[in-house]
Amino acid sequence: LADLDWWEHCALYQIYPRSFKDSGDDGIGDLLGILDHLEHFKDAGVDAIWMSPIFESPMVDFGYDISNFYEIHYEYGTMEDFENLLKRAHEIGIKVLLDFVPNHASTKSDYFIKSEAGDPEYKDYFVWADGYEDPNNASNRFPPSNWVSQFGGSAWEWSEKRQQFYLHQFAVQQADFNFRNPAVKQEMFNIMKFWLDKGVDGFRVDALPYMMEADPADHGGKYPDDPLSGLSQFEPHQLGYTIPLYTKDLIELYDIVYEWREFIDDYTKKAGGDTRVIFSEGYANITMTMLYYGNEQGAIGAHFPFNFDFITDVSAKSNARDFVYTILKWLTYMPYGAVANWQFGNHDNNRMPTRFRHDMVDGLNSLNMMLPGTSVTYQGEEIGMRDGYVSWEDTVDVEALNRGDEDTYMLYSRDPARTPFHWNDSKQAGFSVANRTWLPVAEDYKEINLAKQKVDEKSHFKVYQALTALRKEKTLSHGEYDIRALSDSSFYLVRSLRNYDTLVLLFNVGEAPDTIVLQRVPHLRTPATVYVSSIHSSRVAGDIIDTERVTLAAGEALI
Ligand code: TEU
């Protein structure tokens, strides 16, 4: 069997640093909190972690608005804390990836301040444009185009100082870099090199679909308007919705990703040691997503683009066939020989048990761990954490604040998925000794917390541990897969490898018990041994079951 490189079959875990563990008393998670709890990853069986941004930031978008790409944010600690974290993680065999945010910088960054002031070295660092004079009002100007920001409103903001508009595809405080400027492209290499030199194992790269925008040179010197949406009586920016033809998924952006891959491969080659990697982030259709892997001309891009299909394509309403279809979609479109990855949540979306059903946690984690490729866990999924309740008064997410009001903010808010991690049932779930945490701790922490799940006879965490242990089986790292719906609500995933144990996942995603006849499941012997079962299953590991006819409870999963 071929040796796999570390990233091809690892269990990757996303840390949201602000909510992981507060080592001090300010109610905000920090690097020492992570450093002190690295054992959690060993315990959980995780091989690699990626951290949402830890760099200097005014925290308008909680670190995705970076003011200094070379410094650690003061609330999170110091460079020394980071170096210690990295060193300790490596000592215990855990890879560490950082979040690299190339699309934009904080308007408080030196880059932007200098650019706005017209400093010759920086004046073209961002996307600046004059816009249009208002014929009826000389003191008013219209933006260069109708482009809308992801966080609502026009994507153009007027600068009094510079007397021009700048582009921001996210918050007003997140100015889009101008990737048509070679100096910006060079600076991105400098930033990556700085952190690679510190020893990081790679990057999760943020918001790639937005990296390039249409060039006025191709449109008669103007920024072209995006076409109106279906509801054409509204201007797109009134609707807060548009069909972004000129600001997203531009074909030129992939070449930049391919250059980064060359750079990081070169780096590994020169520096030696384990492979440094790029995992790209971006919501796009399957064709555009696959271009991050590489193109037909032979260019190679990200080691893999994050797979958000379990977040965007399936939900509590999906049936077994929807799941199978979603899984096969990625595996079908993926370039030959490429590595897949799977994830059910992140800091931008409602938590997995909330988006699906609470009784599906173990089944979804099983699926994540049993599918070919890399599994990605969002902080809290290992204990089945659900969305926290965050009132309008406590809401801090810029997207919710910009797009919502007291009645509608829940439609947009990303805060519920970002509440602090539940370590135990003490005050603030053991996250912090502060009386007030940056987001409130979810109310259910006494029932759902790590300490309890470590002692309970059955728990999501124990299932998670069993799954990460099972992942070490050659069948899961090297085996073939076969996946099919058995009924509207149940499906099987078979992983098999010659001369090794076959592993079969049976999963009822429906809301009612389902009796399935299994005679035609390839390789499934009867009777069979249960390796892992969801916590509400009547079967436990070691049970011998007749697999010809099986009744699965709602949400039940059996391996
Ligand atoms: O998100 C990129 C992205 O595509 C967003 O539109 C995302 O879909 C949105 O947040 C959903 O509500 C990344 C980060 O993950 C996100 O936290 C940042 O706010 C965003 O980039 C800007 O940096």
Kindly report each contact of residues 477-483 with a partner whose C-beta sits within 8 Å and lies 24 or more positions away, as own/partner: 477/4, 477/8, 477/9, 478/1, 478/2, 478/4, 479/372, 479/503, 481/331, 481/371, 481/372, 482/522, 483/324, 483/327, 483/328
Catalytic residue among 206, 362, 381, 556: 206
- Is 394 among the residues known to form the active site? no
**pLDDT > 70? residue 237:** no
Question: What is the predicted pLDDT for the residue at 521?
Answer: 80
- Going by alpha carbons, the residue nearest to atom 2 of ligand 1 is 207
**pLDDT > 80? residue 520:** no
Of 288, 313, 317, 315, the residue nearest 302 (C-alpha): 288
Mean pLDDT of 47-76: 98
CATH 3.40.50.300 corresponds to the domain 480-558: no
Q: Which atom of ligand 1 is nearest to the CA of 101?
A: 23
Report the residue among 280, 348, 399 best suited for mutation to probe ligand 1: largest number of ligand atoms under 8 A from its CB: 348
Question: What is the predicted pLDDT for the residue at 242?
Answer: 61
Question: Six-digit token pair at 326?
Answer: 């979603």
Q: HEC states along 305-318?
A: ECCCHHHHCCCCCC
- Per-residue pLDDT band for 96 (boundaries 50, 70, 90) equals very high
Q: How far apart are the first and last CA of the chain?
A: 24
**pLDDT > 50? residue 544:** yes
Ligand 1 geometric centre to CA of 207 (Å): 6
Strand (E) positions, 251-401? 277-280, 304-305, 341-343, 374-378
Strand (E) positions, 113-230? 128-129, 132-134, 137-142, 156-159, 164-167, 174-176, 202-205
**pLDDT > 50? residue 77:** yes
Q: How far is CA 536 from the centre of its chain?
A: 28
CA dist., res. 213 & res. 356, Å (int): 35
Mean pLDDT of 182-206: 98
Is the bond leading into 527 cis (omega within 30 degrees of zero)?
yes
CA dist., res. 172 & res. 378, Å (int): 28
Q: Which atom of ligand 1 is nearest to the CA of 347?
A: 17
Catalytic residue among 281, 362, 399, 514: 281
**pLDDT > 70? residue 162:** yes
Mean pLDDT of 132-137: 92
Mean pLDDT of 70-78: 98
Task: Please check whether residue 154 is in contact with residue 237, taking contact to mean a CB–CB distance below 8 angstroms.
Answer: yes
**pLDDT > 80? residue 468:** yes
Residues above pLDDT 90, as percent of the chain? 91
- Per-residue pLDDT band for 519 (boundaries 50, 70, 90) equals confident
**pLDDT > 90? residue 44:** yes
Question: What is the predicted pLDDT for the residue at 232?
Answer: 39
Annotated domain spans of the chain: 6-103+182-213+248-465, 104-176+214-247, 480-558
Question: What is the predicted pLDDT for the residue at 240?
Answer: 52
> Buried (b) or exposed (e) across 7-42, using 16+ Cβ within 10 A?
bbbbbbbbbbbbbbbbbeeebbbbbbbbbebbebbe
Which position has the higher pLDDT, 150 or 373?
Answer: 373
Which position has the higher pLDDT, 242 or 157?
Answer: 157
CA distances from 400 to 97, 151, 157, 312, 410 (A): 28, 8, 19, 19, 7
Question: What is the predicted pLDDT for the residue at 229?
Answer: 47
> Please, what CATH class does the domain formed by 6-103+182-213+248-465 belong to?
alpha beta
Q: Helix or strand or coil: residue 269?
A: helix
| H/E segment holding residue 330 | helix 320-333
The phi and psi torsions of 203 (rounded to 5 degrees) equal: -135, 145
Ligand 1 geometric centre to CA of 348 (Å): 6
Ligand 1 geometric centre to CA of 150 (Å): 8
Q: Which of 145-154, 253-262, 487-496 has the weakest average pLDDT? A: 145-154
Of 274, 279, 526, 491, the residue nearest 370 (C-alpha): 491
Mean pLDDT of 304-322: 97
- Going by alpha carbons, the residue nearest to atom 10 of ligand 1 is 348
What residues pair up with 98 in beta bridges, in sequence order? 51, 203
- Going by alpha carbons, the residue nearest to atom 18 of ligand 1 is 64
**pLDDT > 60? residue 402:** yes
What CATH code is assigned to 104-176+214-247? Answer: 3.90.400.10
The phi and psi torsions of 208 (rounded to 5 degrees) equal: -60, -35
Report the residue among 104, 150, 168, 418 best suited for mutation to probe ligand 1: largest number of ligand atoms under 8 A from its CB: 150
CA dist., res. 215 & res. 242, Å (int): 19
Question: What is the predicted pLDDT for the residue at 547?
Answer: 85
Share the mean pLDDT of the chain. 95
Question: What is the predicted pLDDT for the residue at 373?
Answer: 98
**pLDDT > 50? residue 233:** no
Give the residues surrounding ligand 1 with Cβ less than 6 Å away.
61, 64, 101, 150, 170, 206-207, 283, 347-348, 399, 414
Q: Which residue do the tokens 């007749």 mark? A: 546
- Is 187 among the residues known to form the active site? no
Question: What is the predicted pLDDT for the residue at 238?
Answer: 53
Ligand 1 geometric centre to CA of 468 (Å): 28
CA atoms within 13 Å, Cβ hemisphere of 463: 31
Mean pLDDT of 318-340: 98
Of 173, 150, 172, the residue nearest 57 (C-alpha): 173
Q: Helix or strand or coil: residue 408?
A: coil
CA dist., res. 520 & res. 491, Å (int): 12
Ligand 1 geometric centre to CA of 400 (Å): 12
Provide the 8-state DSSP code for 396: -
